[in-house]
Chain A
Amino acid sequence: MSDELLHESLEELYEQAPCGFLFTRPDGTIVRVNQTLLSWIGHERDDLLSGRRFQDLLTVPGKIFYENQYFPLLRMRGFVKGVAFDLACRDRDPLPVLVDSIQRIGADGRPALIVTTIVDATDRRAYERELLRSRRSAEQLAVVLSAASDAVLSATPAGEIQTWNAGAGRLFGYSAGEIIGTHLRGILCPGEDDAVWQQIMAELRAGRPVHREMVGRHAQGRLVDISVGLTPHLGLLGEIGGVSAIIRDIGERRGIERLQREFLAMATHELRNPLAAIKMNAHLMRLCAAYNERAINTIVAQTDQLDRLVDDLLLASQIEADRLDLMPEETDLVAEARAAADALGVTEASISVEASSEPIVVWADRLRLGQVFANLLANAVKYSRDGREIVVRVGQKDDEARVAFVDRGVGIPPEALPRLFDRFYRAPGAGAQAPGLGLGLYISCRIAEAHGGRIEVESEPGRGSTFTVVLPLQGGRVG
């Protein structure tokens, strides 16, 4: 092999190398460049060697980076490794590259030459961008997960908890540090015995998700009603690689379901009573084949009671569905209060109405308002002791009208006060005294709210209660 061939090959290797070679003075002026680099940037050799500098080949951010970091590094450390730049090219988009430079010191001890290798980094830059994008997306997802109100966790195929979000911490009362590594069985109780767990694991291993309602165990020992969604993650060979779980507290929902069941039972019972009385009296008359005034009176009264009960149910469901249609008109509260007191008629208690002689006018649906007054009055009578007076006080304060129903009855225990206006709620001590569905206060409260007002309660057990209907004076809005 001749020296000439070797020499030519070396020349060619340099000029046509897979990377660009660049030799510059310390101030960046280009003194030598290989063909590869020239081809990349689309310049002629003479052009580049006519006083152009390396910095001139860079984009604006690159120039800034060159001055602030690349040059100081090179000067102080003697080399720079793997710096990303974009080369400005003629006739094409800037070329992403990686640059290595070495500083050579001259005989006088000062930097004399910089030797630079430039590598095409197009693919690598694209990969890095993708990596960054994925990382950002993962970070966003992590934020969503940590803020989620549901419990989101994952476990190994053996059931050991691996990840644990803030929602899980709130639901079960454990911090991530406390729970990670422990078994799912510590917090989930799907059933009394092992068989249920085996069944769940079998489903998961078969690649099928499992959704169940069950009981969970809180760190403080109490049980919580939960709905659990378990999803298996399968590996390449179909083996189970892990399990993720989304768990939701359904305690509140369960509570409401329970109340609804109780209500249904009670409503059926309440509706049956008047029906039974009607049936019995009707049978009686048929048997006797004669008109019986007492029987007829009972039938009519019980039918009215049924009517009221059904009305209440209907109204409550309308309110619930937000389909309460009000027909407001100018209403004098004083007149309405007096009318309600009269309608209740002479009963076990006496009702007195305290009001000014001037009318107090609001914009209200007279029929519905009448129902509210009737309900509150009926309650006052119901929970009153015999012979005690009930007072209805009509007045105004600031820009609100106030109608207070004051009784000296058994009163309401303080713990019952917050729940008083809930659907289905019967205050303790109501019991057999008070037939009805327990919807009265709920309906009254919502009607008051629909008028832009509210109902206020004050009560002391043993002393009595005051229910006050507050409504905006005319000029206020009816919601």
Chain B
Amino acid sequence: MPVLERNNVTISGSGETPMMFAHGYGCDQRMWRLVAPAFADTHRLVLFDHVGSGGSDLAQYDRAKYGSLRGYAQDVVEICAALDLRDVVFVGHSVSAMIGVLAAIEVPERFARLVLIGPSPCYLNDGDYVGGFARKDIDDLLEFQDANYLGWSSSLAPIIMGNPDRPELSEELHASFCRTDPEIAKQFAAVTFLSDNRTDLSNVTARSLILQCQEDAIAPMVVGEYVHCHLPDSDLTVLCATGHCPHLSAPDETVAAIKAFLDL
């Protein structure tokens, strides 16, 4: 099916209820490897890559469509339709939390639960609203992209002190992890960090869980609380983990929090 190829959809797990995992900006579905397997017995796991990331079909990247998060949300809706998913538990990290919100508003009958990891409806500060970033920060970020585009091909910087221990990804996969077309990466960054979906939150009907980390530079605590306030029927769980990727830095804690939410 074209949609499933476009988004590199992988399906596993032996359960019935579908559990969809949406990666955030920067990497791809492989970042769920430490968390998703914990739900393989109880759920049908649906993982995918956003167009432009991972193993998605880059040729289908459309600057006009993906100039807004709605373009990405539309893909989620299409994947659900292609697989005819019902009662979906949607797990979205970072910007995919908002993508999930938009998809759930579009087809509420398909989504039962939302798990939002490090969500932010708007990254820019706006009057009393604290998003955490000034416009200049985002401009600097987009300029910074250029520095790392060239940096990726560097072999100038030495690796010292031996080999990495037991990487979670096998050798043949590591080359493409977190690497994408620089022009697409730049646009995705701009679309992500300049998005504003604050007014969409109140339209969500599905029960939601917000997983908030300490000292998350991208989605600080005050933002998590904002989301909790404006999402009707939501729980907020503050994790001990720090940083923006608890599903990587504290997978056990993350799995436990989600299981508790799903009454598993």
Contacts and interface: CB of A to CB of B under 8 A. Distances in A.
Contact of B217 (A26, A63, A75, A119): A63
A60 B177 contact: no
Given A27-B243, A68-B25, A99-B157, A75 B148 contact: no
Interface string B135-173: 001001101101110111011111111111111110000
Interface residues of A, number: 46
A267 interface: no
Interface stretch (B64-72, B84-92, B244-252): B244-252
A105 B141 CA distance: 31
B174 interface: yes
Interface stretch (B26-34, B102-110, B194-202): B26-34
B256 interface: no
Interface string A49-69: 000000100011111111111
Contacts of A128: 146-147, 150-151
A105 B158 CA distance: 21
A77 B165 contact: no
A73 B24 contact: no
Nearest to B161: A115
A68 B243 CA distance: 10
A387 B137 CA distance: 89
A65 B148 contact: yes
B141 A102 contact: no
Contact of A77 (B24, B158, B169, B218): B169
Given A61-B144, A71-B248, A77-B177, A117 B167 contact: no
Interface size bucket, B side? 35 or more
Contacts of B31: 72, 76
B133 interface: yes
B242 interface: yes
A201 interface: no
Contacts of B234: none
Contacts of A26: 249
A72 B157 contact: no
Contact of A61 (B137, B160, B168): B137
B159 A102 contact: yes
B83 interface: no
Given A72-B248, A78-B167, A119 B161 contact: no
A433 B168 CA distance: 98
Contact of B156 (A64, A67, A98, A102): A98
Nearest to B136: A60
Contacts of B144: 61-62, 65, 84, 86
A141 B161 CA distance: 46
A105 B133 CA distance: 34
A64 B152 contact: no
Interface in A284-300: none
A203 interface: no
B81 interface: no
A60 B160 contact: no
Contacts of B168: 75-78
Contact of B177 (A67, A76, A102): A76
A76 B248 contact: yes
A125 interface: yes
A169 interface: no
Contact of B244 (A60, A67, A78): A67
B179 to A, nearest CB: 9
Nearest to B31: A72
Contacts of B141: 60-61, 64-65
A98 B148 CA distance: 10
10 contacts: A55-B217, A63-B218, A64-B218, A71-B244, A76-B30, A79-B164, A84-B150, A102-B159, A117-B160, A131-B150
Give me the 5 closest cross-chain CB pairs, A-B, nearest first. Answer: A78-B164, A68-B26, A78-B167, A82-B154, A67-B244
Interface of A: 19, 26-28, 55, 59-69, 71-73, 75-79, 81-84, 86, 96, 98-100, 102-105, 109, 115, 117, 119, 124-125, 128, 131-132
